Amino acid sequence: MKCNELWKTIDKLALRLKTTPSGLAKLAGLDATSFNKSKRFRPDGNPRWPSMESVNKVLQACNITFEDFIALSKAEGISYKPETIALIDIEKLGDKKHIDDNGALIRKNCNAIKFPNIQDNKIFAIDITTNKFEPWFKSGNMLIISPNADIRRGDRLVLKTVDNEIIIGELIKKTVQKTEIKEICSGKNMELKNNDILWSYRIIWTSQ
């Protein structure tokens, strides 16, 4: 699903509920301006993705699944084309047979799943097969990762260090030299030198 298609589906969901995008945001417990037109583009004019957290809150508030959301896109005439993306077990992210130190997937060694209308062939999915990331992510959850997505303060991300450590956390601050995140397992803040991070990717979606 393209960025603009995601925004259009949010608009159409609001219309079906006989409300506005602002009303939908309020229903989801978000700031009323979360889905405003001004929030959909960056200062340089490039499109901005809504946060994973805000979209998930909308789905929960409307009691619909991700599949329902995609079906709405299809029903309203937004292009929908099932495509395949790579799926990698969270436990294999440190294995160079599946993903190299530059963060590039070795796709022939990964599984694959269907995912709608993917325009970026670098997007991939991570299968959570452990409970050590609770309460944020439980075994059975699937994370959709975008290597090309900009990472902003408050975004959740997956990163790999030079010590082959896989960390999932929330970005607190990033400078030229350091990255500070809130690590989800411990809930504690971590400060990492950027030179110690092999790759760092944004989580753009989580399936429950």
Distance between CA atoms of residues 60 and 146, nearest Å: 23
- Condensed to tens digits (0 to 9), the pLDDT of residues 93-112 reads 888 888 887 888 887 888 88
Q: Quick one: 129 and 69 in the same domain?
A: no
Domain that holds residue 95: 88-207
Distance between CA atoms of residues 3 and 73, nearest Å: 12
Q: What DSSP state is assigned to residue 66?
A: H
Query: How many Cβ atoms are within 10 Å of 119's Cβ, its own excluded?
Result: 11
Query: How many Cβ atoms are within 10 Å of 138's Cβ, its own excluded?
Result: 12
| Average pLDDT of every residue of the chain | 83
pLDDT for position 24: 86
- Kindly state whether residue 68 falls inside one of the protein's structural domains: yes
Q: Quick one: 94 and 69 in the same domain?
A: no
- Condensed to tens digits (0 to 9), the pLDDT of residues 183-207 reads 988 889 999 999 999 999 999 888 7
Average pLDDT over residues 58-77: 74
197-207 sheet: strands from edge to edge? 111-116, 82-89, 124-127, 142-146, 197-207, 156-161, 166-174, 178-183, 189-193
Q: Quick one: 92 and 149 in the same domain?
A: yes
The answer to pTM > 0.75 is: no
- Kindly state whether residue 196 falls inside one of the protein's structural domains: yes
Q: Quick one: 122 and 54 in the same domain?
A: no
Q: What DSSP state is assigned to residue 183?
A: E
Q: Who's near 55: CB < 8 A, 6+ residues apart? A: 6, 10, 205
In the chain, how many domains are there? Answer: 2
Distance between CA atoms of residues 178 and 194, nearest Å: 5
Q: Who's near 30: CB < 8 A, 6+ residues apart? A: 54, 57, 58
Q: Quick one: 9 and 97 in the same domain?
A: no
Q: Which tokens in the block code for residue 45? A: 């004019």
- Condensed to tens digits (0 to 9), the pLDDT of residues 132-181 reads 888 888 888 889 898 888 888 999 999 999 999 999 999 999 999 999 99
Q: Quick one: 185 and 156 in the same domain?
A: yes
